[in-house]
Amino acid sequence: MTRSVPDDARPVPDDPRPAPGDTRPVPDVPRPTPDGTRPVPDGTRSVADDTPPVADVPRPTPGDTPPVPGDTPPVSDDTRPVADDPRPVPDDPHLVRGFRAMTVQGWFLLALALMTLLVVAGSVVGGQVLAHTARVSDQLLQRIQPAQGAAFQLQAAVLNQETGARGYAIAADPQFLQPYSDGRRGEAQLAATLRGLVGDRPVLRADLDAVERATADWRGHYAEPMIKAVTPGVPRPPDKTLVEGGKARFDHLRALFRAQNTHLAEERSRAQRELAEARTERDWVLGGLVAAFLITGVVLAVLIRQLVTRPLDRLRTASYRVAGGDFEHRITAHGPADLRAVARDVEGMRRRIVTELGTVRSAHRLLVEQTADLDAQAVELRRSNAELEQFAYVASHDLQEPLRKVASFCQLLEKRYGDSFDERGKQYLDFAVDGAKRMQVLINDLLTFSRVGRLNDASVPVALDAALDKAVANLGASIEESGARIERPERLPEIIGDPMLMVMLWQNLLGNAVKFRRPDEPPLVRLTCERRDGDWLLAVSDNGIGVPTEFAEKVFVIFQRLHGRDSYSGTGIGLALCKKIVEHHGGRIWIDTGYGTGARFCLTLPAETPPEDAPPEDAPSADVPAVKGNPA
């Protein structure tokens, strides 16, 4: 049984040769019968090449079970390569003659030739028109109009000179000379700009030369002599003859200004007329070119629709069915050879997808299980960190009482029974008291370090000046003993943060600079502050022993010490505390390894604007301890 075929179907050529790369055996294709159709072999459908394929939709049988979403759909056992669907076409003489007279390639070549001709002709004509319009427009927009603006600015600069000179002559106040000086500088720049804009226009260039000569004459015969004649701070009436001469010269300048403005306005009007004429000519030419392109584009669109779009739509529809999960739907090839090749590739991809989909889903299940395990580990890690923080806090408090007892009873022993001990016994007591005190300091520093970011979460406006003053007061004894000198800016900025932490930060940085000093030179500490990339860049530099380059990163690690405890006291927590404070406020801290003598610590803090309703923070709270975290 043979299906009927639409009358507009294209004939199928008799050449049964396979496409390049197709290794399938060539079937014996019988010749057409007298009625215009070909006998169809058993098991082969006969459809037109342009007729949409009729998909074999699988119908469920009474015993079938519908597929479950998420499961791999059943894969068809048919893995035969996709064949071009040969469908018989009625032998229409007119259609055959039309295709034989003009091939698809011929139509595209003809359309391409017409488009090329139009492009070349349009490029030549349109290029000339557009170039002329662009030249006229450039003259107006980049020469005449900027020249007018420069002329007005030049005149304003000269007027500023006259105003400044007159004000200085009346008041004898040197500040009135500022407009005069600014006007002279602006005059030179604007005159050079205007000279470049007027180009080779003799009238405008002559106007500019006249203005420059008249300005120089007014300045040489009036402004400069009058300025020299005035004694600063001693006002007196200016010379009447000099004033009258200056007025006459400036009136002449005003006349030159009016002439210059008139000539510039005339030049602008002429350029505007030329631009309007050029635009009218351009619009007519471009309109004709657009019409020609539209006609040619319509012809080309019809060809593309017949030869490319329809077969491509069929391929897209079939691809959507496969993408939607219908992996049993076979993709058949239609249209030109390149689209048939694409269809074959998509069909091959469909088969690979069916094969690999099971593997992908297995990997997905494994990934989901691993993700759940990682989430559980993250929860456990957060719980462990919270327990560690609580442990550090509780341990620090619980260790304070035994240490206080040890120190107190050792001091009582020394006080009551000191006469009974020899020198070695007293030394042992001193060691015990000193060790207990150092242990207390270490515990306090650890407690402070653990609190940063956990308990210290204030976010209020903090004046860095007030925080620095508090830190300097806390270090007053060390600064006075060492003879240290601190150089600081007149005013430090205000940030959003915790005032207590800012005091700790300054105290540790200044304490380091004072402690790690040279034995033969008093400490000199310099503080600088500047705005950079939306942050405040602060630096604390000193003339001390410095930090070797290889230890520039290690000094910020907790308990890292570069010197023995006998050389310099401390717990090794100070700089680690500084780093934690700075990072808690959204900044960073580092050592400038290129600094010369001494050390230079640089840090950034966000330059945030405090809210209007936030109360100002002039100083840290009164309960800030005098020493919070010993310098490292």
pLDDT for 116-160, tens place per residue? 887 888 788 878 877 877 877 777 676 777 877 888 888 888 888
pLDDT > 60? residue 170:
yes
More confident site: 437 or 292: 292
| DSSP code, position 521 | S
Which pLDDT does position 17 carry in this prediction? Answer: 45
| Lookup result for tokens 């803090």 | 605
> Of 280, 295, 310, which residue is a domain's last?
295
Task: For residue 333, give the 3-state DSSP assignment.
Answer: strand
Counts of helices then strands in the chain (DSSP H, E): 14, 7
Strand partners for 531: 536
**Which stretch of 95-104, 344-353, 457-466, 544-553 has the lowest confidence by average pLDDT?**
95-104
pLDDT for residue 502 is more than 70:
yes
Give the pLDDT band (50/70/90) at residue 619: very low
pLDDT greater at residue 442 or residue 269 = 269
In DSSP terms, 486 is beta-bridged to 525
Report CA Rg, the chain: 46
What is the chain's mean pLDDT, rounded? 73
Q: Is residue 236 part of a domain?
A: yes
Query: Residue 349 above 50 pLDDT?
Result: yes
Whether 175 is in a domain gets the answer yes
For residue 501, what are the domain limits? 458-606
User: Is position 182 within any domain?
Assistant: yes
Q: Give per-residue pLDDT as tens, 200-247.
A: 788 888 888 888 888 888 888 888 888 887 777 777 777 777 777 888
* CA atoms lying within 13 Å on the CB side of residue 516: 24
Quickly state the pLDDT bin for 478 (edges 50, 70, 90): confident
Give the pLDDT mean for 351-378: 86
Out of 277, 295, 313, a domain closes at 295
Give a yes or no: residue 86 inside a domain: no
Which residue, 217, 237, 248, is CA-closest to 166? 237
Which pair of tokens denotes residue 287?
């309109």
Percent of the chain with pLDDT over 90: 7
Q: Does the structure show a pLDDT above 50 at 522?
A: yes
Mean pLDDT along residues 527-549:
88
What is the model's pLDDT at position 294?
Answer: 85
| pLDDT bucket at 81, cuts 50 / 70 / 90 | very low
Residue 257 lies in a domain: yes
Instruction: Flag whether 17 is in a domain.
Output: no
Question: Is 80 exceeded by the pLDDT of residue 317?
Answer: yes
Q: Is the pLDDT of residue 314 over 90?
A: no
**472 within domain boundaries:** yes
CA distance 306 to 312: 10
Q: In terms of C-beta density within 10 A (0-12 exposed, 13-18 middle, 19 or more buried), how is residue 194 classed?
A: buried
> What integer pLDDT is reported at residue 568 of this predicted model?
64
N residues, the chain: 632
Tell which of 266, 295, 324 closes a domain: 295
Determine the pLDDT at residue 520: 83
CB 88 within 8 A of CB 13: no
So what's the pLDDT on residue 632?
44
Question: Is pLDDT above 50 for 519?
Answer: yes
**Structural domains of the chain, count:** 2
Residue 270 sits in a domain whose CATH number is 1.20.120
For residue 247, is it within any domain? Answer: yes
Burial grade of 468 (CB within 10 A; 0-12, 13-18, 19 or more): buried
The CATH number of residue 531's host domain is 3.30.565.10
Q: What is the pLDDT of residue 607?
A: 84
pLDDT band at 335 (very low <50, low <70, confident <90, very high): low
* The CA-based dihedral angle spanning residues 136, 142, 145, 146, taken in that order and rounded to the nearest 10 degrees: -160
CA–CA separation, 246 and 214 (whole Å): 11
State phi, psi for 318 to the nearest 5 degrees.
Answer: -65, -40
Which contacts of 227-232 are long-range, i.e. CB under 8 A and separated by 24 or more positions?
Answer: 227/165, 227/168, 227/169, 227/177, 227/180, 230/168, 230/169, 230/172, 231/172, 232/172, 232/173, 232/174
Mind listing the pLDDT tens digit for each residue in 18-37? Answer: 444 444 444 444 444 444 44
What mean pLDDT comes out for the span 387-416? 73
Report pLDDT for 629.
Answer: 38
